[in-house]
Amino acid sequence: MSLPSRDDIAKRLEDTLEAMVAGGFGPVANPADEVKPHLDALLSKGEYTVRDGMLTLLAMEVEHGDLIDWREQGLHNPARSASKYLGSTIYPRLHIAGSPEALQTGVKGVRRYIDRKNATWKAILEWASQPVLDAEWILADVARQYNLTVDELRRGSRANLTEARFVVNRAGGGDLLLPAEVEQDSDDRPTGDDEEVWYTIGDATRQACHEAFGITHIEAAFHYLAAGIAATARNLPAMPALDTPKLTFPAIFALLDDMLRQNSAGAHEQFIFAALLEGWREQLGEPGVVETKNLNASDSSAGTAADVQEKHRGQVTEAYEVTANDYTTKIDQAKNTLRRHDLRRAHILARDAAKATGEEIADALPPGLDLAVLDVREEVRSILAQLGKPHRRFALERLYRLLVDKQANDQLVQDFVSALAARGLTEMS
């Protein structure tokens, strides 16, 4: 049986998560004891690349309808594409924080998924490679085959149970057998002609157990992990459709200027600037990307050079430290960024920085370092003025996504959407 396509895996993810977020999926049972602690670890640690990559692989196995031996299975491009759809389309629509493409960077440089250097990841895939071995089912099935009760077989309370108890052991249910209460008629191992028969019955019983349960254990693990992720969905308003002709400079600057006057713990300063910078580069057709870290995350933990950075071909070309406080609070950070990443220059964007004189800035900065001090409000004003209306729309839509994905205060998202409507910038206003 061929592995499922990108569309099939993506649909499995989409249908499951949408139903769970909407409350229409129904109760989700706990998965097997062997795997539940590992799934709980994925849900609690916040390592989205690991969590979302595993969700995609479990969805792939469920959609496949049969076990996948992850000890042998190599990388599957449709799964990578499905993980990208999960991060770029499903999660944003459901307001779930996650990895934009979990099976891209997470398994780079490995031949098989199971080779990833993560103990929890490997333990789950090893478990997911194995069929169900349910000892209670095996005990009941062998009791049926030999016209016994389960209790008689478990306790060995009748004579002539040697063969039946051997078959239970061979099939994998021996842990449930108690020491025989009644002395049995022969040794506990077959001899002669009996040997092949007993082994055959035991192996057939084990196979019957596998077939009876199929991949229900994989489905249970997938549903459990998906339910944990769905529970993190935030109840946020959607980004409204903007009326492009209304996106004039006075209208947008009035909106953004008001946001910059609010106390947002630096969210408005960082994300407004990042969104406008990205819109400006998009308008120019500049190669590379603009990246910004989560609010309050350190640069090192976020893997970025600064609060906002421009990158081209994997190299940081410009770095911006952004703050709602005085520019002097960012000097040490900007200095370290400049040196650590061997940049030609770095920038500090701060509230009210325009009030500082040139002499004051020169006295405050270390000599010999090319650190620019900019007023965040004036930079916003300048970049906005250079954008055409379509790219102002792009920047506002990007700002919405950053407020949703990069900070946890839902009120900021709600206020932004309300302000767009109140200022008559949406198609419905």
pLDDT tens figures, 182-191: 887 665 566 6
Residue 212 has what pLDDT?
Answer: 76
Q: How far apart are CA 152 and CA 177, in angstroms?
A: 10
Helix, coil or strand: residue 291: strand
Cβ-based neighbours of 320, under 8 Å, separated by 6 or more:
273, 277, 306, 307, 308, 309, 346, 347, 348, 349
Measuring CA to CA, how many Å separate 385 from each of 322, 391, 393, 408? 20, 11, 13, 30
* Identity of the amino acid at 101: E
Taking Cα atoms as reference points, which of 5, 127, 135, 6 lies closest to residue 68? 127
Residue whose tokens read 């900007």 = 334
Tokens representing 235 are 């109840």
Tokens representing 395 are 């920047």
Alpha-carbon 353 to chain mean position: 38
Q: How far apart are CA 224 and CA 426, in angstroms?
A: 39
Residue whose tokens read 């998009």 = 282
Helix, coil or strand: residue 290: strand
Which regions of the chain are under pLDDT 70?
1, 185-193, 299-303
371 forms beta bridges with 346
Measuring CA to CA, how many Å separate 243 from each of 122, 135, 180, 247, 367? 49, 64, 81, 7, 48
Q: What is the pLDDT of residues 36-45, one digit of tens each?
A: 999 999 999 8
Alpha-carbon 38 to chain mean position: 15
* 312 phi/psi in degrees, rounded to 5: -140, 125
Residue 205 has what pLDDT?
Answer: 87
Any idea what DSSP says for residue 243? -
- Yes or no: say if 347 and 319 are a contact pair by the CB < 8 Å rule: yes
If one counts every other C-beta atom within 10 angstroms of the C-beta of residue 184, the result is: 15
Helix, coil or strand: residue 214: coil
Interstrand relation of 289-292 and 315-323 (parallel, antiparallel or unpaired): unpaired
Taking Cα atoms as reference points, which of 354, 362, 406 lies closest to residue 379? 354
Alpha-carbon 58 to chain mean position: 13
* Identity of the amino acid at 224: Y
Q: What Rg value do the Cα atoms of the chain yield, rounded?
A: 30
Helix (H) or strand (E) holding 48: helix 48-64
Residue 44 has what pLDDT?
Answer: 93
Taking Cα atoms as reference points, which of 196, 109, 177 lies closest to residue 139? 177
Measuring CA to CA, how many Å separate 115 from each of 13, 51, 66, 186? 24, 16, 21, 48
Residue 299 has what pLDDT?
Answer: 62
